[in-house]
Amino acid sequence: MTITETPADEVRNDFDPVLLAVLANRLDGIVREMTNTLLRTGRSAILNTARDFSCSIVTADNELLSAAEGLPIHVIGSQLLTRSMERHHPVINEGDAFLHNDPYDGNTHHADHSILVPVFFDGEHLFTAVAKAHQADCGNSRPTTYAGYAKDIYDEGAINYPCVKIQSNYDDVQDIIRMSKRRIRVPEQWYGDYLASLGAARIGERRLKEVVAKYGVDTIKTFITEWFNYSERLMIEQIRQWPAATLTATTNHDPIPQLDQEIPLNVTVTIDPKEARVLVDLRDNIDCVPAGYNMSEATALASGMTGIFNQLTESIPYNEGSFRRVTVALRQNSIAGIPAHPSSASVATTNVADRVINMTQAAFAGLGEGYGIAEGAIGQGPGMGVISGHDNRRGNSEYINQLYLASSGGPASPTTDGWGFFGIPVTAGIMYRDSVEIDERKYPVLIDECRMLPDSEGAGKFRGAPAGRVTYGPTDTPMNVIYVADGSVYPPQGVRGGLPGHAQTVEKLGIDGSVESLQSAGNVILQPGERIVNITNGGGGYGDPKSRDPEKVRLDVEDGLVSLERAKFVYGLDIEINSSGRAALKSD
């Protein structure tokens, strides 16, 4: 599978450059308005607080046009969704909306419900507005949206919506709504989140029609061509600055319980500056496994692409135009490729995807100083786990939601320390952090601790960001915590002499004070008084820690991120702290 290849259009059309900028900003503004709508109206915390959703605009020719601020893992494959809509619904009408979550046919994973609204002008289908949102529950056989346990789609248990019509003439298709409400936990929450996504897509529809009405269909069509060409030109410029090379990299996802062994992963990146093309080849990977960790086509494509885009030194719009210069080669029935039904792709958006991004971006360090990025924090431990149970404060009502609390370490780059509230490579700092108070109000959870962990950074000339530590448990009713961590056995690596970040750990604290170490993927019932403790990964470092600017080390010590001992032994600096809490380099 490759992305459509179109020859580069090096010849500049005489489309008004001013209008080009105007319309590009206008479309980004529409996507931002869609995003704002979904955030403010979503019901589950994973949407309305953490923002685990993305909006985008795809052309009627199935090319991604605008995805301002969307999560790359969500939006890079949006065109696969609209292709599927075209295939299954030869006749579409104004007022239709489609619900799509089929990972075998272009969606990311079952938990991401995508709402597709075809946008018409004078009867012509011009765009599709897409709102993709991670649900708090998707009807899996166990209360989690990440079914690492699933040996196949049947074991996974999610409802599959193979691009089904959910609105006709702007009215809900009640059959689909009823079916969903029967099979999804906390149905009112699901319905509210569906409305939020629908509202976002409908807002996109309204605004797109206004833009077309104002500028005319022909101008808009020419704009689309020119905007793609512009984005492609920027990408060509960037790739021409890179040396010709073939880079290979490997990594391992931590052992998973279903396989009892690690998942080995490989990538080969070929850079051809002369032709201004990059090939990310993921075909040399193992077949799909009998567990939920297989990638979907959309996430494999997005991860390979993200590994390349993370190298950019200037901002380039991510759309069909810039994508033309990068080919991601995938294989059928591969864990990092196109999943073969009934293999489960329940965890397709995170674990293996994060590994693919990490190894691809780190591979570039092989080009020499100033290239590549270290590996970032990986895996979703309990600090990003799915909690469920019953809430005594609201008549013992059922609850389920993914937390997004834990701080974790972003990777160091050739110029900058890692980002502090990073999440994982597929979210890359874009998602928001839960409020402790909002989580405690909405769910019967007590969060005892949520902090950055000292001495957990991958040291380097530029260091990774520190790991986080989160401790929480139920207030007065048993709580089920399901999570799919990684990075315990194989923590994020540094590059060019940078050190790895802290390993991920999970522990359960008993009421009697006992400490039990838990495996990295788990399904745990916590009784009132019990606690789960999750230390996330620190990000990997870039370059030799001994070459780090001493002033930066001094500040890290003063900020409580690096201890005096670590400053001495890892960074080679003698530092002292005075009575007012100031750190200073010792003079000798």
Partner 1 sequence: MSYRIAVDTGGTFTDVVVADEEGRLVFNKALTTLDRMFDGAREALRFIAADMGITFEHLMSNSSLFIYGTTRATNAIVEKKTAPTAFFTTEGHPDILRLKEGGKHEPFNFRMAYPEPYIPARLTFEIPGRIGSEGQEIRPLDESAVRSAVRAARDGQAEAIAVCLLWSIANSDHELRIREIILDEWPGVPVTLSHELNPTIREYRRASSAAIDASLKPLMQSHLGAIRTDLADAGFGGELVIVTSFGGALHVEEVFKRPIYTVGSGPSMAPVAADAYGSQEVDHGNFIVGDSGGTTFDVSLVEGRQIKKTRETWLGPQWTGDITGLSSVEVTSIGAGGGSIAWIDKGGLLRVGPHSSGSTPGPACYGRGGDKPTVTDAAAVLGYFNPDYFLGGRMTLDLESAQEAIRSQVAEPLGIELRPAAWAILAVANEAMVSAVREITINQGVDPRESIFVAGGGAGGLNAVMLAKELGCKQVLVPKTAGALSAAGAQFADIVAEVQATKYMTTALFDADASAKTLAKLDADLDKFAANLPPALSAQQSRDYSVEARYPNQVWDLPIPIAEGHLKTPDAVAILQETFHAAHERSFAVKEEGQDVEWDLWAARMTVPLSPPDLAAQREDQSGATLRAVNTRSAYFGATQDVNVPCYDGDSLGIGAIIEGPAIIEERTTTIVLPPGSRACVTPLRSLLIDLDEN
Q: Report the site for partner 1 in 431-450 (rule: CB under 8 A).
A: 431-433, 435-438, 440-442, 446-450
How many other C-beta atoms lie within 10 A of the C-beta of residue 524? Answer: 18
Please give the single-letter amino acid code of residue 522: G
Q: Please pick, from the candidates 382, 385, 410, 460, the single residue that binds partner 1 as defined by CB under 8 A.
A: 410
Q: How far is the CB of 478 from partner 1 (least distance, A)?
A: 18
Q: Which of 305, 391, 295, 433 is nearest to 352 (CA)?
A: 295
State the Cα–Cα distance between residues 394 and 348, nearest whole angstrom: 34
How many other C-beta atoms lie within 10 A of the C-beta of residue 342? Answer: 15
The answer to whether 240 touches 276, Cβ cutoff 8 Å, is yes
Under DSSP, the state recorded for 65 is E
Q: Which is nearer to partner 1, 40 or 178 (CB)?
A: 40
Contacts to partner 1 from residues 448-467, by CB under 8 A = 448-452, 465
Q: Please pick, from the candidates 17, 216, 370, 550, the single residue that binds partner 1 as defined by CB under 8 A.
A: 17
Q: In terms of DSSP bridges, do strands 386-391 and 479-484 run parallel, antiparallel, or are they unpaired?
A: antiparallel
Stretch that binds partner 1, among 247-255, 258-266, 404-412, 566-574 (CB under 8 A): 404-412
The answer to whether 55 touches 70, Cβ cutoff 8 Å, is yes
Site string for partner 1, 336-375 (x = CB under 8 A): -------------------------------------x--
Site string for partner 1, 501-520 (x = CB under 8 A): --------------------
Angle at 198 between CA 192 and CA 201, to 5 degrees: 145
Q: How far is CA 484 from the centre of its chain?
A: 15
Give yes or no for residue 309 binding partner 1 (CB under 8 A).
Answer: yes
Q: Which is nearer to partner 1, 20 or 286 (CB)?
A: 20
Token output for 247 = 């880079």
Q: Which is nearer to partner 1, 32 or 331 (CB)?
A: 32
3-state secondary structure of 252: strand
Contacts to partner 1 from residues 374-393, by CB under 8 A = 393
Give yes or no for residue 471 binding partner 1 (CB under 8 A).
Answer: yes
Q: Please pick, from the candidates 100, 110, 113, 233, the single residue that binds partner 1 as defined by CB under 8 A.
A: 233
Q: Please pick, from the candidates 2, 10, 22, 217, the single residue that binds partner 1 as defined by CB under 8 A.
A: 22
Q: Which is nearer to partner 1, 285 or 537 (CB)?
A: 537
Stretch that binds partner 1, among 16-24, 79-87, 95-103, 346-354 (CB under 8 A): 16-24
Q: Which is nearer to partner 1, 197 or 334 (CB)?
A: 197
Dihedral in degrees, nearest 10, Cα atoms 539, 543, 544, 548: -80
> Residue with structure tokens 């410029």?
237
Q: Which is nearer to partner 1, 104 or 422 (CB)?
A: 422
Q: Which is nearer to partner 1, 38 or 481 (CB)?
A: 38
Contacts to partner 1 from residues 38-97, by CB under 8 A = 39-45, 48-51, 69, 71-72
3-state secondary structure of 113: strand
Give yes or no for residue 576 binding partner 1 (CB under 8 A).
Answer: no
Token output for 164 = 């089904």
Site string for partner 1, 170-209 (x = CB under 8 A): ------------------xx--x--xx-xx--xx--xx--
Terminal Cα distance for the chain, rounded: 60
Q: Which is nearer to partner 1, 215 or 333 (CB)?
A: 215
Exposure letters 418-454 (e unless 16+ CB within 10 A, then b):
bbbbbbbbbbbebbbebebeebeebbbbbbeebebbb
Token output for 551 = 């002033």
The answer to whether 146 touches 482, Cβ cutoff 8 Å, is yes
Residue 351 phi, psi (nearest 5): -55, -65
Give yes or no for residue 492 binding partner 1 (CB under 8 A).
Answer: no
Q: Please pick, from the candidates 407, 456, 480, 536, the single residue that binds partner 1 as defined by CB under 8 A.
A: 407
Residue 111 phi, psi (nearest 5): -75, -20
Own/partner pairs for 2-7, CB < 8 Å, 24+ apart?
Answer: 2/327, 2/328, 2/329, 3/301, 3/323, 3/324, 3/326, 3/327, 3/328, 4/320, 4/324, 5/324, 5/327, 6/324
Contacts to partner 1 from residues 275-294, by CB under 8 A = none
Q: Please pick, from the candidates 270, 558, 568, 585, the single residue that binds partner 1 as defined by CB under 8 A.
A: 558
Contacts to partner 1 from residues 141-170, by CB under 8 A = none
Site string for partner 1, 517-536 (x = CB under 8 A): --------------------
Q: Please pick, from the candidates 418, 464, 492, 538, the single residue that binds partner 1 as defined by CB under 8 A.
A: 418
The answer to whether 49 touches 438, Cβ cutoff 8 Å, is yes
Give yes or no for residue 315 binding partner 1 (CB under 8 A).
Answer: yes
